[in-house]
Chains A and B, each alone.
Chain A
Amino acid sequence: MATLTSQAPVLSVAGLRKSYAGREVVAGVSFNLARGECYGLLGPNGAGKTTALRCCLGLTTPGAGDITLVGEPVPQRAREARMKVGVVPQFDNLDPDFTVAENLRVFGRYFGLADAETRRRIPQLLDFAGLAGKEQARLQTLSGGMKRRLTLARALVNDPELLLLDEPTTGLDPQARHLIWERLKHLLQQGKTILLTTHFMDEAERLCHRLAILDEGHIVAQGAPRELIASQIEPQVVEVYGEDAPAWAASAAQPYAKRIEVSGETVFCYVDDGQVIPLLAQLANLPQLRTLHRPANLEDVFLKLTGRELRD
């Protein structure tokens, strides 16, 4: 879209802080979303992604910081701002007592939309969500992927400028995830702006123009996915598997790799382009170890910046 740089940000967040019971969950986060952009907030569980989204929507008052959402100051005029925003929450909260069409019609009323107006839009919303003809279907008859797509359709009922998606594909099978990604790309082509939280790196790499990696309430890196991979990490990765792999990493691997990480019986060798061939040649002498050579990706960046320990 040609409008990428032409206007004020659709969402701007500056110096955002939020504490719960003395623990700072969001600790000074700043970012801007340009119109037509898809921006990702990545982070392990508990990094502060959902709290940051709740602050942006005015559903909780930040301890400090300034937020402007679609031109309105938040939290002061959050309710007015939400007129132009669509939300796909992390956990399904569709109305189980209603049919597909009733879910959309009732949600439209919360935006002050007349039933006739929503009814007119329903076929095109369902068509977009791959739910054409499902108007009268009861909610219990829908699969997880269908419910997710209905939630997306519901978030579009007010034709929003900005979509906030909190882990939109968590719990979906690959087919359903790819369909959601394809729909989101379509929305970007229409000029919508998207803010997405996820912990799926492939999702972020595919969809996001820019992203921020959040850890313990801080942004630890920010930029385009390709840039982050180029700037934060070695370009090539050789993964080595086997019982003897950790011992090999400790004794013989050092000269061949720039950086080595060991996780159980897997060794990750991060190397420059020129180091790949000597390393693979060395490994060819050790048939008991299996190897996989691949280019570095966003997940490597993420793990380097946020560590390998579990976060639940």
Chain B
Amino acid sequence: MTNLPTQYALPSFSWRAIAVWRRNFLVWRKLAIPSVLGNLADPMIYLFGLGYGLGGLLPQVGGVSYIVFLASGTVCASTMNAASFESLYSAFSRMHVQKTWEAILNAPVALDDVLSGEWLWAASKATLSGLAILLVITALGFVASPLALWTIPVIFLTGLTFAALGLIVTALAPSYDFFMYYFTLLMTPMVLLSGVFFPVEQLPAAFQTVAAALPLAHSVRLVRPLLLGELPTHAIMHLSVLLAIALTAYWVALILTRRRLLN
């Protein structure tokens, strides 16, 4: 109403976000081991189940054995999942159920600081998830060369992208049930269309066009070659798309959250 310009203002960033990040880190530290194991178990079951089970029936996929192909997709998909869960369920608990954000906003911390702290935290936690998978598949010999280290910034950027998208949904959510729509209508199709389980080229042309717009597909296009010991083609383009989605989505999430909490 009277405060339209401030609601649409560009995000402001400050070191105060670190205090919010550290609050979440302290909670996570208390449950770190079950949390990491929990994040690892589900993707690993899929990786081994499909990789060895289905992979045994298949010739090479994309020039490598199926489990190696799937391993790189798993890194991206589990980063996406971790970022989504944290920015949806956990952030919603802190915003709406526990009123943690409300408490923080009574201190000299702005909503921009709270949301950027949450954003960075969800991306950090997603990075830990992606790295845990990366470590396991490296130990299993599915990673070709030290080029794989370049996936770390890509994993972090993937985390930022999906954390920002998740924060948009959280800002709109009336309750936890709302997140089911996001997962079934957006996340699940995205995993199937983005080259996680099979090459995008297998899809009909129309779906390939859709895939080109999906953030997860860009993440896979970067991570897969790096884990196979190759340099990704169009790396700058893929990075730019991820960064553009991440920043735009974060700004949208911030505007929606300002409208929800500062009205």
Minimum C-beta distance from A93 to chain B (A)? 4
Count, chain A residues at interface, CB 8 A = 28
A93 touches B3 (CB 8 A): no
B262 touches A110 (CB 8 A): no
A95 touches B98 (CB 8 A): yes
Minimum C-beta distance from A246 to chain B (A)? 45
Minimum C-beta distance from A75 to chain B (A)? 8
B102 touches A93 (CB 8 A): yes
The residue that A83 contacts in the complex, of B3, B23, B108, with Cβ under 8 A, is: B108
The residue that B109 contacts in the complex, of A61, A79, A87, with Cβ under 8 A, is: A79
A89 touches B103 (CB 8 A): yes
Inter-chain contacts of A98 with B (CB < 8 A):
26-27
A109 touches B22 (CB 8 A): yes
Inter-chain contacts of A19 with B (CB < 8 A):
1
Minimum C-beta distance from A46 to chain B (A)? 17
Given A82-B107, A83-B108, A110-B107: A95 in contact with B262 (beta carbons within 8 A)? no
**Complex Cα distance A261/B261, Å?**
42
The answer to the question of A57 belonging to the interface, with a C-beta cut-off of 8 Å to chain B, is: yes
Given A60-B262, A61-B3, A93-B98: A107 in contact with B26 (beta carbons within 8 A)? no
- The A-B contact count (CB < 8 A) is 68
The residue that B99 contacts in the complex, of A82, A83, A93, A102, with Cβ under 8 A, is: A93
Q: Closest B-chain residue to A20, C-beta based?
A: B263
Interface residue SS majority, chain A: loop
The answer to the question of A8 belonging to the interface, with a C-beta cut-off of 8 Å to chain B, is: no
Chain A 155-181, CB-CB to B under 8 Å as 1, else 0, gives: 000100000000000000000000000
The answer to the question of B248 belonging to the interface, with a C-beta cut-off of 8 Å to chain A, is: no
The answer to the question of B6 belonging to the interface, with a C-beta cut-off of 8 Å to chain A, is: yes
Q: Choose among B16, B19, B22, B106 the residue with the greatest number of A CB atoms under 10 Å from its CB.
A: B106
The residue that B106 contacts in the complex, of A82, A95, A96, with Cβ under 8 A, is: A82
B105 touches A59 (CB 8 A): yes
A63 touches B102 (CB 8 A): no
The answer to the question of B60 belonging to the interface, with a C-beta cut-off of 8 Å to chain A, is: no
The answer to the question of B100 belonging to the interface, with a C-beta cut-off of 8 Å to chain A, is: yes
Inter-chain contacts of A184 with B (CB < 8 A):
none
Minimum C-beta distance from B13 to chain A (A)? 14
**Docked complex: B213-255 residues within 8 A CB-CB of A:** none
**Complex Cα distance A20/B3, Å?**
13
**Docked complex: A60-95 residues within 8 A CB-CB of B:** 60-61, 63, 79-80, 82-83, 87, 89, 91, 93-95
**Complex Cα distance A80/B2, Å?**
22
A106 touches B23 (CB 8 A): yes
Q: Choose among A83, A107, A109, A112 the residue with the greatest number of B CB atoms under 10 Å from its CB.
A: A109
The answer to the question of B104 belonging to the interface, with a C-beta cut-off of 8 Å to chain A, is: yes
A91 touches B99 (CB 8 A): yes
Given A57-B106, A79-B109, A111-B107: A63 in contact with B1 (beta carbons within 8 A)? yes
29 cross-chain CB contacts under 8 A: A59-B105, A59-B261, A60-B262, A61-B2, A63-B2, A79-B108, A79-B110, A82-B107, A82-B108, A83-B108, A89-B102, A93-B98, A93-B100, A93-B102, A93-B103, A94-B103, A95-B98, A95-B100, A106-B26, A107-B103, A107-B107, A109-B19, A109-B22, A110-B16, A110-B104, A110-B107, A110-B109, A112-B16, A112-B108
Chain B residues within CB distance 8 Å of chain A = 1-3, 6, 16, 19-20, 22-23, 26-27, 30, 98-100, 102-110, 261-263
Chain A residues within CB distance 8 Å of chain B = 19-20, 57, 59-61, 63, 79-80, 82-83, 87, 89, 91, 93-98, 102, 106-107, 109-112, 158
What 8 pairs between A and B have smallest CB-CB spacing? A110-B107, A93-B99, A87-B106, A61-B3, A93-B103, A109-B19, A82-B108, A97-B27
Known: A82-B106, A106-B23. 18 other contacts (CB 8 A): A59-B261, A60-B262, A79-B110, A82-B108, A89-B102, A93-B103, A95-B23, A95-B27, A96-B98, A97-B27, A106-B22, A109-B19, A109-B22, A110-B16, A110-B19, A111-B107, A111-B108, A112-B19
